């Protein structure tokens, strides 16, 4: 019997799920790779874990159990829903408290800043109509959140050199 199709969506986000043939994501590493690529997230900036429910960050999918196929019995009508929960990695190796990570995680403009560091091919895959509008405000909003989270203060020379972006 063929494994069920995996319907992947970002945790607590509205929108459609991506349908992945189950045979392509039989290990958690395959699911991770597909989630980062399809949902346009950078592995350097984000960590991911998965849920079977989309309401609370509770009951993470266990990697070893996924690899053994233990979650296949949760499939209904040949569909298994998995929700990718991306959590921002600490900035520059500093530990951020949960409130700060949550604040950064939920802001869309940060995605635009992260995309600037990604491969051109992946950025093209992630482009959408609103990305230009978001890019105009991304540096300012990101800088404000970054300052609040880390206490960073801009150096005016660095801001001029980088077109207003903080020296990270």
Task: Confirm if 91 and 58 have CB atoms less than 8 A apart.
Answer: no
Three-class DSSP category at 5: strand
143, two tokens: 């800088």
pLDDT of 25 over the 50 cut: yes
More confident residue, 137 or 47: 47
Summarize pLDDT for 61-83 with one digit per residue, the tens: 999 999 998 888 889 988 999 99
Q: Backbone phi, then psi, for 78, in 5-degree steps? A: 75, 15
More confident residue, 49 or 100: 49
CA 92 to CA 52: how far, in whole Å?
A: 31
Summarize pLDDT for 85-102 with one digit per residue, the tens: 999 887 765 555 555 444
Architecture per CATH, domain 5-88, reads as Roll (3.10)
Among 138, 128, 123, residue whose Cα is nearest residue 41 = 123
Ordered by start, the domain boundaries in the chain are 5-88, 94-161
Task: Confirm if 45 and 88 have CB atoms less than 8 A apart.
Answer: yes
């Amino acid at each position: 019997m063929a494994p069920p199709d995996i319907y992947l969506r970002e945790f607590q986000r509205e929108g459609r799920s991506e349908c992945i043939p189950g045979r392509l994501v039989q290990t958690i590493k395959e699911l991770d790779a597909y989630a980062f690529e399809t949902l346009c997230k950078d592995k350097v900036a984000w960590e991911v874990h998965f849920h079977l429910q989309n309401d609370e960050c509770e009951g993470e999918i266990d990697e070893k159990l996924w690899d053994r196929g233990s979650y296949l019995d949760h499939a209904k009508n040949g569909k298994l829903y998995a929700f990718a929960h991306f959590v921002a990695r600490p900035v520059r190796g500093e530990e951020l408290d949960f409130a700060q990570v949550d604040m950064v995680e939920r802001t869309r403009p940060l995605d635009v800043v992260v995309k600037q560091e990604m491969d051109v091919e992946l950025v093209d895959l992630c482009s959408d109509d609103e990305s230009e509008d978001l890019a105009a405000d991304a540096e300012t909003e990101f800088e404000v959140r970054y300052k609040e989270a880390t206490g960073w203060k801009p150096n005016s020379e660095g801001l001029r050199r980088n077109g207003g972006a903080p020296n990270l």
